[in-house]
């Protein structure tokens, strides 16, 4: 009986942590965890080179951003509008796994379903 109770507590804790919303400034503390990150998109750009990526910068404009969202070129056709224009200056929440890329916390997304405009 104690084991079942303990297991139920662990499952409910896992569900709570998976639905957690954190600020863009706090995302750095959630590396390798799936969370929702909320903040204002302060600047956007598309990388140059062979593999293009759209980058949405939160907190402050690049290069001082506290968090970034990365959308690969192959996934851009899934978005009804160019994310660089449609999401700039918007308060959004993005859901995914936080990774540290070039020293910055980021979430790579492949679907507009991972974004909510607040």
| DSSP string for residues in 39-67 | EEEEEEEE--SSS-EEEEEESSSTTS-SE
Residue 2 inside a domain? The answer is no
Residue 25 inside a domain? The answer is yes
Residue 9 inside a domain? The answer is no
Range of the domain at 98: 21-117
pLDDT over 50 (residue 35): yes
Residue 1 inside a domain? The answer is no
Residue 49 inside a domain? The answer is yes
pLDDT over 50 (residue 16): no
Residue 10 inside a domain? The answer is no
49 pLDDT band, cuts 50/70/90, is: confident
DSSP structure class, residue 90: -
Domain count, the chain: 1
Query: Among candidates 112, 114, 109, 100, which has minimal Cα distance to 29?
Result: 100
Give the containing element (helix H, strand E) for 97: strand 91-101
**pLDDT digit string, tens, across residues 52-94:** 999 999 999 999 999 999 999 999 999 999 999 999 999 999 9
Residue 43 inside a domain? The answer is yes
Which residues are registered as beta bridge partners of 57? 43, 68
pLDDT over 60 (residue 15): no
């Amino acid at each position: 009986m104690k084991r079942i109770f303990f297991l139920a507590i662990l499952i409910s804790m896992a569900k709570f942590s998976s639905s957690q919303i954190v600020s863009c400034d706090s995302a750095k503390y959630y590396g390798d965890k799936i969370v929702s990150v909320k903040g204002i998109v302060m600047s956007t750009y598309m990388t140059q080179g062979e593999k293009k990526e759209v980058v949405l910068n939160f907190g402050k404009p690049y290069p001082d951003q506290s968090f970034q969202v990365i959308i690969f070129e192959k996934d851009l056709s899934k978005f009804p509008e160019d994310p660089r224009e449609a999401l700039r200056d918007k308060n959004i929440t993005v859901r995914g796994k936080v990774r540290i890329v070039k020293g910055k916390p980021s979430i790579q997304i492949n679907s507009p379903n991972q974004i909510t405009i607040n």
